[in-house]
Every structure is written in C-alpha cells, then in structure tokens.
Amino acid sequence: MDERIAQLVEQYRAGALSRREFLARLVLITGSLATASALLASLGLGDEAQGAQVPPDAPDLTSSTLQYPSGSVTMSGYLARPRAAGEYPGLIVIHQNTGLNNHIQDVARRFAREGYVALAPDLLSRAGGTGQYATPQDAIAAIGKLTDDQVVQDLHATFAHLKLQPGVQARRIGIIGYCWGGQRSFLFGVSTPELAAVVVYYGQRPAPIDRVQNLAGAFLGIYAERDERITSLVPEVEAALKRYNKPYEIKIYPGTVHAFFDDTRPDRYHPGAAREAWPQTLRFLTRHLKG
C-alpha cells in the first residue's frame, strides 16, 4: 500500500481525520472518487467515509420531514431541533440546485446541535419534490424553471411556518443558503425585513445591487477565491453594503472553488477552509441571533 494512504488510514482510524476529510485526501492521492471508493471497500471501510457528520437518529436532536402550505402548493421540508426543551432561534437552510439532499439535511442537524431550530425547505416542492428526480441533472433542469417570485413566495411560507414552531424565538430568525441557495438567501434577505441575519455561501448578488439597502439583518458572505463568476462581483457587494450602512462580514477563502463547504463532493471540498468557515458562521449567528 502507498505509504501516504497507509498514513491516512491510520489517522482516520485514530480519529484525527473526519470521514469526509479522509475521503477528500484519498481522492487527491488516487486521482478519482471511483478509485478511492474501491480502495475503501477493500479496506473494509466502504461507504462509511461518506456518512453524515450528525446522524439522523442523534439522541440529542429531534428531526423529521413535514409539510406546510404555500398558497395552493404543498411544501415539504426537513426540520431539525434540539431535543431539550427551551426557546431557540430559528434558521432557514436553503439547498443547492440539486434540491433537498442528505447533505443539507445533515447541515440542518449540525445547526440544531448548535442550538437552532433549523428548517430546510424543499424548494422543488412545486415541481413535484426532489425525491421524484432520478439524477441530479434532472433536478437541476427542474429547478432552473422556477421563477424568483415563486421561490420567494415559498420562502415566505417557510419563514411563517418556522415562526409557528414550538420553542422558536420568532424575532430571532435567520437564513443561510449554499450555491443556488446562497443566491436565494440573499434574494430573500432583501425581500424580508423581519430577518435578523442573512448568510450567503458563494451565492450571486441580487440585481440591481442597490436592493441591499432593504437588508434589515446583518449579512455574512462566504466566497471561494477560484469562483470567478461570483467572487469577481464581491467588491460591488461590499461597496453597496458600505454605502447603505449595513452591518456585514465578508470572507474570501484562498485556494478554494465553488461549493468548497460541501463535504460530500471530494472534487470541491476544501477541509481547511470548511473547518474555518463553520466556526465563523456560528460566531456570526450567535452574535445576531443569540446575542
């Protein structure tokens, strides 16, 4: 066995590497996900390397799917919350353009473990729901047919439903989105004065940019250095935030590409940047939703 691989396996089995970080490094060494997966199977590790960071049956959380109305549309969503009784801030978690997948459900549970009631809507609900699409490409094609007005309507319904959940602090609700969801998080942020915090992970800015004057809550933008199409416009976003006196934080992570936080995508996942972005996001949310 390659000495580099042997060292990785030893670190992983000793608990020094997360499962996804282990897989990401293994892909770099072997050159492909297929080769890495075959090697994992031969080592008796199999699909374990792609497991969730917070399991669906985590004993400290309550997680479930639910339905709620958005006009004549029945929305589906995934709700994760601390099992302990109490009052918690709310957080809407918006998926990428492939729909509500296991990764985003896992992210919702991660936030629940940090003391939030997290609701991840399936924004493909009005197109039949994520589950009906056989491939990510099919889901991407379907989501591309949604209008911004439809998405904003469904996010308003999600926001209203989250406020009604037991134990949710209705005045302390934020939103976070990734990729396609990052753009929609920004869009909803400039459309909803009740939001206390808006977090955008490598999402496009709203047009026209002067709509940022409508942001009521604080803004956090997380961007990838090598995501030129989006990151090239960050100076314009920051200038507008300054122009309209909005509280904000912006971080561009060096050496990263679009979707670097997604630990189910070894071709894009950047363990170091993801480890830094997570506590930065938690600090921001603590300050603006818990402070």
Mean per-residue pLDDT, 91-119: 96
CB 182 within 8 A of CB 250: no
Decide: helix, strand or coil at residue 115: coil
221, pLDDT greater than 80: yes
Domains, the chain, ordered by start: 3-49 (no CATH), 57-290 (3.40.50.1820)
d(CA 175, CA 178): 11
49, pLDDT greater than 50: no
265 or 152: which leads in pLDDT: 152
Mean per-residue pLDDT, 243-258: 98
d(CA 158, CA 35): 41
Q: Which residue, chain included where needed, has tokens 């920004």?
A: 186
Q: 249 pLDDT band (50/70/90 cuts)?
A: very high
CB 43 within 8 A of CB 9: yes
66, pLDDT greater than 60: yes
DSSP letter (8 states) at residue 147: -
pLDDT, mean over the chain: 91
Q: Nearest Cα to 29, choosing from 9, 53, 14? A: 9
Name 92's bridge partners.
119, 175
Q: What is the pLDDT of residue 34?
A: 67
35, pLDDT greater than 80: no
> What six digits make up the tokens of 282?
């938690």
pTM: 0.85
Q: Nearest Cα to 204, choosing from 217, 191, 219, 223? A: 223
Mean per-residue pLDDT, 118-126: 98
Amino acid identity for residue 287 in this structure: R
> What six digits make up the tokens of 178?
């990734």
51, pLDDT greater than 60: no
φ, ψ of residue 183 in degrees (nearest 5): -65, -40
Q: What is the pLDDT of residue 151?
A: 98
265 or 285: which leads in pLDDT: 285
Q: Nearest Cα to 55, choosing from 112, 115, 122, 131? A: 112
d(CA 51, CA 150): 33
* Residue 255, phi-psi category: left (phi > 0), alpha (psi -120 to 50), beta (remainder): left
φ, ψ of residue 235 in degrees (nearest 5): -55, -35
Beta strands 168-178; 197-201: pairing state: parallel
H-helix or E-strand containing 76? strand 73-82
Q: What is the DSSP string of 208-268?
A: SGGGGGG--SEEEEEEETT-HHHHTTHHHHHHHHHHTT--EEEEEETT--TTTT-TT-TTT
Q: What is the pLDDT of residue 265?
A: 85
Mean per-residue pLDDT, 41-66: 76
d(CA 127, CA 139): 9
